[in-house]
Amino acid sequence: MLSLYLEKSAASLQTLTAHLSAGDAPSADVQGIALQLRGSSATVGAPRVAAACAALYDAADATAARLMLDTLQVKLGKARRLRLRRRLT
Protein backbone atom coordinates (compact mmCIF):
# COMPACT_ATOMS: atom_id res chain seq x y z
CA MET A 1 0.00 0.00 0.00
CA LEU A 2 2.82 2.40 0.81
CA SER A 3 4.50 1.75 -2.52
CA LEU A 4 1.27 2.64 -4.34
CA TYR A 5 0.94 5.79 -2.22
CA LEU A 6 4.48 6.89 -3.09
CA GLU A 7 3.87 6.22 -6.77
CA LYS A 8 0.59 8.16 -6.84
CA SER A 9 2.01 10.99 -4.75
CA ALA A 10 4.83 11.44 -7.28
CA ALA A 11 2.24 11.77 -10.05
CA SER A 12 0.28 14.26 -7.93
CA LEU A 13 3.42 16.33 -7.40
CA GLN A 14 4.02 16.46 -11.15
CA THR A 15 0.46 17.62 -11.74
CA LEU A 16 0.67 20.22 -8.98
CA THR A 17 3.97 21.49 -10.37
CA ALA A 18 2.42 21.85 -13.81
CA HIS A 19 -0.56 23.78 -12.44
CA LEU A 20 1.59 26.09 -10.35
CA SER A 21 4.06 26.66 -13.18
CA ALA A 22 1.14 27.76 -15.35
CA GLY A 23 0.12 30.26 -12.67
CA ASP A 24 -2.94 28.20 -11.78
CA ALA A 25 -3.04 28.84 -8.05
CA PRO A 26 -4.97 28.94 -5.97
CA SER A 27 -7.48 26.95 -7.99
CA ALA A 28 -10.01 24.22 -7.49
CA ASP A 29 -7.70 21.78 -9.32
CA VAL A 30 -4.76 22.52 -7.03
CA GLN A 31 -6.96 22.36 -3.95
CA GLY A 32 -8.55 19.10 -5.07
CA ILE A 33 -5.21 17.40 -5.60
CA ALA A 34 -3.92 18.73 -2.27
CA LEU A 35 -7.05 17.46 -0.51
CA GLN A 36 -6.76 13.97 -2.02
CA LEU A 37 -3.06 13.77 -1.21
CA ARG A 38 -3.70 14.98 2.33
CA GLY A 39 -6.22 12.20 2.89
CA SER A 40 -4.02 9.45 1.50
CA SER A 41 -1.03 10.78 3.45
CA ALA A 42 -3.00 10.64 6.68
CA THR A 43 -4.16 7.11 5.83
CA VAL A 44 -0.63 5.77 5.36
CA GLY A 45 0.65 7.50 8.49
CA ALA A 46 2.52 10.45 6.98
CA PRO A 47 1.25 13.33 9.15
CA ARG A 48 3.92 15.81 8.07
CA VAL A 49 3.08 15.26 4.43
CA ALA A 50 -0.62 15.61 5.26
CA ALA A 51 0.09 18.90 7.05
CA ALA A 52 2.02 20.21 4.04
CA CYS A 53 -0.91 19.27 1.81
CA ALA A 54 -3.31 21.10 4.12
CA ALA A 55 -1.10 24.19 3.95
CA LEU A 56 -1.03 23.96 0.15
CA TYR A 57 -4.82 23.63 0.12
CA ASP A 58 -5.09 26.79 2.24
CA ALA A 59 -2.50 28.80 0.29
CA ALA A 60 -3.80 32.30 -0.34
CA ASP A 61 -1.85 33.05 -3.50
CA ALA A 62 0.53 31.58 -6.07
CA THR A 63 3.65 32.51 -4.10
CA ALA A 64 2.39 30.78 -0.96
CA ALA A 65 1.28 27.77 -3.02
CA ARG A 66 4.73 27.40 -4.59
CA LEU A 67 6.36 27.61 -1.17
CA MET A 68 4.02 24.94 0.17
CA LEU A 69 4.72 22.77 -2.88
CA ASP A 70 8.44 23.01 -2.13
CA THR A 71 7.73 21.96 1.46
CA LEU A 72 5.56 19.10 0.23
CA GLN A 73 8.33 17.87 -2.06
CA VAL A 74 10.78 17.82 0.85
CA LYS A 75 8.35 15.93 3.10
CA LEU A 76 7.57 13.35 0.42
CA GLY A 77 11.28 12.91 -0.26
CA LYS A 78 11.81 12.11 3.40
CA ALA A 79 8.93 9.62 3.32
CA ARG A 80 10.46 7.89 0.28
CA ARG A 81 13.88 7.66 1.94
CA LEU A 82 12.32 6.27 5.10
CA ARG A 83 10.46 3.66 3.05
CA LEU A 84 13.68 2.68 1.28
CA ARG A 85 15.55 2.38 4.58
CA ARG A 86 12.82 0.13 6.00
CA ARG A 87 12.92 -2.04 2.89
CA LEU A 88 16.70 -2.46 3.15
CA THR A 89 16.70 -3.48 6.82
Three-state SS annotation for 6-48:
HHHHHHHHHHHHHHHHCCCCCCHHHHHHHHHHHHHHHHCCCHH
**From the first residue on, what is the mean pLDDT of each consecutive set of 10 residues in the chain (89 residues)?**
87 94 85 96 92 94 92 91 71
pLDDT of residue 87: 66
Domain housing 33: 2-88
Full-model pTM: 0.87
Number of domains in the chain: 1
